[in-house]
Amino acid sequence: MNIAFIPVRGGSKSIPLKNIKILAGHPLVYWTATAANNAKCIDKVVIATDNNEIKTTVEKFNLPKVEIYKRKAENAQDYSTTESVMLEYIDAANLHNEDYFFLIQATSPLLKSKHIDEMFTKLITDNADSALTCVRNKRFYWSEKGQPLNYDYKNRLRRQDFQGIMMENGACYINSVKNILEYKNRLSGKISIYEMPEYTSVEIDEPDDFLLIEKLMEKHKND
């Protein structure tokens, strides 16, 4: 079984109830829940929340693959790790070792169903143990001590000639339940990278991100 798992807690210091704040006409979590629900490779979508308002909002989506999991309060604090609620759910749901676990972040609403399906296909094709989504970043980076980190400034490349580096965009991670239980981590073993479009590097962390992502969603709605 392939389980998409979307953790959404009620507490958010930067944006109160961020995960159900309206984005392009729908609550934020709607976008990733719908992408996961419509992905061909996904069998079940689990929204893990500690908040009743979020629970009520998600139930109104009427997405057939979606179910709610009431996460424990101790795993929904500012200091709680995502892995803690992943492990909590895996234990509570008694998942099988061979099940695939797709961790999807609600703050990455530019994720689409096709990305999830293509990512899973690539994981299998690569014969990898786990996978993550990345974007290709063509910025030049420096240390605080004035040392170039990823290029030679004496031989500056044109942008079109620079391969760039892969940067996590936080949208989706895949691993087997067996590996997550063994390593207590969303990634392990041989890791496959699924490259998403550069514009998907934007995640929602601050209020201004809603304005930027709405424009990106409109521009790329037919991609």
Active site residues: 156
Task: Measure the CA angle with vertex 141, ends 135 and 146; round to 5°.
Answer: 170
E strands, 58-184, are: 66-70, 100-104, 130-137, 165-176
Structure tokens at 62: 């009427």
Cβ atoms of 4 and 117 within 8 Å: the answer is no
- Distances in Å between the Cα of 52 and the Cα atoms of 22, 40, 114 are 17, 29, 31
At 130, is the secondary structure helix, strand, or coil? strand
| 2-7: strand order across its sheet | 66-70, 44-49, 2-7, 100-104, 165-176, 130-137, 191-195
